[in-house]
A = this chain, B = another copy of it.
Amino acid sequence: MADVDAHGALSADELRDAWPILSVDERFEGFRLLTRAEAEDYFFTLSTRDQADIIGSLPPAERRTWMRILPPDDAADVVQELPKEREALLGVLDEATRKEVQALLAYAEDEAGGLMSPRYARLRPNVTVDEAISYLRKQARERLETVYYAYVIDADQKLVGVVSVSDLFAASPQKTVQDVMSTDVITVRPEADQEQVGQLFAQHGLLAIPVVDADGRMKGIVTVDDIVDVVEEEATEDIQKLGGMEALDKPYFQNSYLQMIKKRAGWLCILFVSEMLTSNALTFFQTELERAIVLSIFIPLIISSGGNSGSQATTLIIRAMALGEIKLRDWFRVMRRELITGLALGVILGIIGFVRVSLWPNAAHLYTEHFLLLALTIGTSLVFVVLWGTFMGSMLPFALRRVGLDPANSSAPFVATLVDVSGLIIYFMAASSILHGTLL
């Protein structure tokens, strides 16, 4: 633990190092003991959640200065984190910024509109390159999100083109902005999802993307530094859902025990209750089990193979969907692919399973004199269980997406649970037909 109390002030670097393991109070304490210059630098590197914790802990008189150094998009995020203090926080902003922040608060946090900043550099199309550069030098003194792209706006506030400082620098000084600007601009709507915005950045390698309404009017820009966070955040959410739990929203150590248990117990209970179906199925097959208790020995092996192949398929498809590599309309091509792949994987495991049972030392003693038929049962079941697991795992994300749910909810454990029941049915059906007249 960092000795905030014992040694007094930590440096900014020491505080950064200790941050994840400090309580909110210790953080606040550590932050307050930084020099003003260190504190400002440090404040900007914090996540929205941490900025909100600090501002929330400050006495009202001190909030003004910290709210005011935030650019409007970050200020809006902090207000969203502290909904009860909304009016108080808006009250400390200057008139112009307050209006900007209020406009941003109209959008959801995870939409382009909620990520954008209204502070971008503007140019008119008919000025010269030299005039544009000196005009940008003037605008740089107002706290813009970036001066590296300037957006060329006509008299109706419509976006007609974009020009980078780099283009301006490289152009001959007497040309005009409209000679140099690019008119083929990649834009997003304010209501676009942040995941989609992240994909545009990844695809085109841009520093900023303008947000434009349905009439082509410029509303703001989203910058790439906000998007790196978003891409990581989205991946984290998907990974946690794939692991069979709710997304945490906060770093690991910042969740209380109660929050952590709540986020995990829900899905665990759903999975548990679904898995009870396996007990019902086994109750149904109890006569077979009583006659051939040896069948019970391979139950975990059979059903887990279905679960594992289902986990693979669902994880693969969900990630490819999140990256935009697979669309809803691709379901048939995916199904064909997964059926072939699942069959091949099933045959591989089926052969291993057959060999494992038939060649096991002392097989006749352990598995009765019909061990070859038993091996055939195991092998055949594996082919179908793996095929079925792969099929279910790959199609479930499509089904969820089709009905408007997040495909990442079709987590690996969820698919495994669903496949367990069907795995048992396949196993006992194979046993009935292959072992009929011998063991059964």
**Residue A333 contacts which of B253, B278, B290, B296 (CB distance < 8 angstroms)?**
B253
Is A201 an interface residue, CB under 8 A from the partner?
A: yes
Interface-forming stretch among A82-90, A91-99, A204-212? A204-212
Interface centre among A21, A147, A316 (most CB of B within 10 A): A316
With both chains docked as a complex, state the minimum distance between the C-beta of A20 and any C-beta of chain B, in angstroms.
Answer: 6
User: Which residues of chain B are near A315, meaning CB under 8 Å?
Assistant: 239-240, 242-245
Contact A228 B225 (CB under 8 A): no
A420, closest chain B residue (CB): B300
**Residue A320 contacts which of B252, B333, B416 (CB distance < 8 angstroms)?**
B252
A282-B311 contact, Cβ under 8 Å, with A136-B169, A325-B20, A341-B264: no
With both chains docked as a complex, state the minimum distance between the C-beta of A326 and any C-beta of chain B, in angstroms.
Answer: 6
Contact A224 B252 (CB under 8 A): no
Contact A413 B296 (CB under 8 A): no
Is A231 an interface residue, CB under 8 A from the partner?
A: yes
**Residue A299 contacts which of B144, B300, B412 (CB distance < 8 angstroms)?**
B300
Interface centre among A301, A330, A353 (most CB of B within 10 A): A301
A264-B224 contact, Cβ under 8 Å, with A242-B243, A311-B243: no
A312-B245 contact, Cβ under 8 Å, with A251-B320, A325-B251, A325-B253: yes
A413-B282 contact, Cβ under 8 Å, with A148-B148, A224-B207, A325-B253: no
List 4 tightest A-B contacts by C-beta distance, closest first.
Answer: A243-B315, A140-B169, A235-B235, A205-B225
Binary flags per residue of A299-335, CB closer than 8 Å to B gives 1, else 0: 1110111011101101111111001011000100110
Is A126 an interface residue, CB under 8 A from the partner?
A: no
Contact B264 A312 (CB under 8 A): yes
Interface centre among A21, A248, A297 (most CB of B within 10 A): A297
Is A155 an interface residue, CB under 8 A from the partner?
A: no
Contact A140 B170 (CB under 8 A): yes
20 A–B contacts, CB within 8 A, in A order: A45-B205, A140-B170, A148-B166, A224-B225, A235-B238, A239-B239, A243-B314, A244-B308, A244-B412, A252-B334, A253-B337, A268-B386, A269-B348, A271-B308, A272-B305, A272-B352, A275-B300, A279-B301, A289-B293, A416-B416
Is A431 an interface residue, CB under 8 A from the partner?
A: no
Number of A residues with CB within 8 Å of any CB on chain B = 113
With both chains docked as a complex, state the minimum distance between the C-beta of A314 and any C-beta of chain B, in angstroms.
Answer: 7
Bound Cα distance from A323 to B271, whole angstroms: 28
Is A236 an interface residue, CB under 8 A from the partner?
A: yes
Binary flags per residue of A263-279, CB closer than 8 Å to B gives 1, else 0: 01101110111011011
A243-B412 contact, Cβ under 8 Å, with A264-B312, A265-B345, A275-B301: yes
With both chains docked as a complex, state the minimum distance between the C-beta of A274 and any C-beta of chain B, in angstroms.
Answer: 9
User: Which residues of chain B are near A305, meaning CB under 8 Å?
Assistant: 268, 271-272, 275
A234, closest chain B residue (CB): B235
**Residue A170 contacts which of B141, B226, B273 (CB distance < 8 angstroms)?**
B141
